[in-house]
Amino acid sequence: MIPALTAATGAPRVAAIEYPLSRPMGMVGDAAGQAAVLRATLAALAAADSYGAVIDLPFQWPEPRGKAMGPLPEEPPIAALCKRKPWLFLKLLSGKIPVPESA
């Protein structure tokens, strides 16, 4: 989401996209758009020919920035789980994705 910052961390390749920080894969509910971003990201990273390459993906956010930064239509499941069980947030920060017991 912030290519210069990501590259500065030593990432071997960076696929950059100018989408709002809260929505790196695209609009909520747009499965086709999200799949297109994923395919383009994988293709760009596979084609990168040098360490530290930054590849700009060819996508534009389809609505005004102010609208994009508004509230999500529904709470993401991981946020709901961490609200119910706040101790799982530390697990998430450590890189271990918490899952509900029923999953």
pLDDT (0 to 100) of residue 71: 67
CA dist list (Å): 17 to 20, 44, 88: 9, 12, 30
Beta-carbon count within 10 A of 12 CB: 11
Q: Give the confidence band of 102 by pLDDT, cuts at 50, 70, 90.
A: low
| Residue % of the chain over a pLDDT of 90 | 36
Q: Give the confidence band of 13 by pLDDT, cuts at 50, 70, 90.
A: very high
> What pTM, to 2 d.p., does this model score?
0.62
Q: What does pLDDT average to over the chain?
A: 85
Alpha-carbon span 103 to 100, nearest angstrom: 5
Q: Indicate whether 60 pLDDT > 80.
A: yes
